[in-house]
Amino acid sequence: MRTIVLKEEAQSSKSTIFCGEGAFEKELPRFLAGYPQKLIFTDSNVERLWGARIREVLGDVPVFVMPAGEEHKTEETLFSLLKAMAEQQLHRTSCLVMIGGGVVGDIGGLAAALYMRGIACFQVPTTLLAQVDSSVGGKTAIDFLGIKNLVGAFNQPEAVFADPCFLSTLPPREVRCGLGEMVKHGALSEELFETLLARRNELAALDVPADLIADNIAFKASVVAQDAKESGLRKSLNLGHTTAHALELAQKTRSHGECVLLGTIFEAELARRHEKCDDGYLHELVSLCKEVLGGIPALPPAKEWTPLALLDKKNTERGTVVVTAPVARGTYRLIALPFAEYAREAEEIQARLC
């Protein structure tokens, strides 16, 4: 098992991340022993697949189950959870244990930040995406007014338990979803990118080695430690995400990770047009994205999804779209484009790709 300590440079607090077999069954109970009251927060998919095992490991702990799915990442679910926490009479010495994917972690982390102005929380990510990305770094949020992650807070969990046992029940689409974020990390780290290229056949076969998961967690933790509140370096983790979020909003049948892979392809092509780039590197990156995707899927017309890029939180001016684009190994640029230019070029890129 690998242990990673995430300590923010400007803060005294730290978050410990356990990666590997036994993280859930051995390490989590040890951490929870010091809390007199606990509430488990999970979703209906995890409860169906893992509920019995969770009770075997953690005993008779109250459980609040939300309906599974991004469409339930709402204020209604948040306040239902807060109500359950109050009904269980949790106090500041209590803790919330989030067992699930990114939606569970986002809502649970926000609820823990709000309840009594903050109680301890622990994350047990059960999807590949949550293990390598959303459980690390303390970002929490709900979607509001049709906009992703509009209401949220930064709230680091006390500890994260990334156990590969949960990945055994993931469908292929969810594995591909997590691979999208792993490829994004590779685009930002020269060393990690070379590792991904060397193991591309495993990734294309949706076979994800445990050591590669730990490497991705360590990379993201290193970025967050330097810039927890996304004022500088952490913005790099938005690579590919402006276009990804627009595609995700327009085509709800695509997973977040699949859209990140597509967004990375589109924004790499935008980088070619607006920055001095390493063309060989971009070719390798785009090829890797396509392999993991299994090819470019059918997309809605660009005129339908490009306006949704205007809603992205990374934009700094009205009518401007900002993308975090790869330009060379381990190097990115923030590119600000007038919306008309972004929409025209995205349409041209899509016509060539599809």
pLDDT of 312 higher than 90: no
The active-site residue out of 181, 248, 267, 269 is 181
SS3 (DSSP) at 288: helix
Nearest to 239 by CA among 290, 187, 176: 187
Across the range 253-274, mean pLDDT stands at 96
**Share above pLDDT 70 across residues of the chain, in percent, rounded to a whole number:** 99
Above 70 in pLDDT, residue 58?
Answer: yes
**Residue range 230-256: mean pLDDT, rounded:** 90
Active-site residue identified among 241, 254, 329, 333: 241
Averaged pLDDT, 113-120: 98
> What is the pLDDT averaged over residues 251-259?
90
Mean of all residue pLDDT scores within the chain? 94
Walk across the sheet containing 120-125 and list its strands. 2-7, 14-19, 159-162, 120-125, 95-100, 38-43, 63-66
- Exposure of 148 in the CB half-sphere (CA atoms within 13 A): 22
Q: What is the mean pLDDT of residues 116-141?
A: 96
To the query of whether residue 352 is one of the catalytic residues in this protein, the response is no
38 belongs to the catalytic site: no
- 344: annotated active-site residue: no
Is 185 among the catalytic positions? no
CA 125 vs CA 250, 287, 328: distances in Å: 27, 29, 31
**Active-site position among 117, 201, 318, 352:** 117
* The one catalytic residue among 148, 176, 184, 220: 220
Which residues have a Cβ under 8 Å from the Cβ of 65 and sit 6 or more positions away? 42, 43, 44, 47
Q: How confident is the model at residue 234 (pLDDT cuts 50, 70, 90)?
A: confident
pLDDT-derived band of residue 149, with 50, 70 and 90 as boundaries?
Answer: confident
Q: What is the mean pLDDT of residues 233-260?
A: 92
Residue 229 in this model has a pLDDT that exceeds 80 = no
Active site residue 245: yes
Please determine, for residue 334, whether its predicted confidence score (pLDDT) is greater than 80.
yes
Q: Of 51-65, 116-130, 226-240, 331-345, which gets the smallest average pLDDT?
A: 226-240
CA 93/CA 255 separation, integer angstroms:
37
Tell me whether residue 234 is one of the annotated catalytic residues: yes
Paired tokens of 200: 């591309």
Percentage of the chain modeled with pLDDT above 90: 87
- Domains of the chain, first to last: 2-169 (3.40.50.1970), 172-207+228-353 (1.20.1090.10)
When pLDDT is averaged across residues 220-245 and rounded to a whole number, the result is 89
If you average pLDDT over residues 44-62, what whole number do you get? 97
pLDDT of residue 12: 64
Among 73, 245, 254, 329, the active-site one is 245
Query: Which of 283, 243, 299, 247 is closest to 267 using CA atoms?
Result: 243
Which value, to the nearest 10 degrees, does the dihedral of the CA atoms of residues 166, 172, 174, 176 take?
120
Q: What is the DSSP letter of 169?
A: G
Tell me what pLDDT residue 11 has.
67
- Only one residue has tokens 């076969």, namely 205
pLDDT at residue 10 above 80? Answer: no
Q: Which of 38, 148, 254, 256 is catalytic?
A: 256
Q: Per the residue annotation, which of 38, 73, 139, 184 is the catalytic one?
A: 139
Which segment of 8-17, 38-47, 175-184, 275-284 scores lowest on mean pLDDT? 8-17
For 226, the enclosing helix (H) or strand (E) is helix 210-226
Amino acid 146: pLDDT: 81
Total count of residues recorded for the chain: 354
Question: Active-site residue among 174, 238, 248, 333?
Answer: 238
Q: What is the pTM of this model?
A: 0.90
Average pLDDT over residues 183-190: 95
What pLDDT, on the 0 to 100 scale, is given for residue 7?
A: 83
Mean pLDDT of 106-125: 98
* pLDDT greater at residue 10 or residue 131: 131
**Tokens linked to 209:** 């080695």
Report CA torsion sign: 53, 57, 59, 63.
Answer: negative
Query: Is 256 noted as a catalytic residue in this protein?
Result: yes
pLDDT at site 245: 93
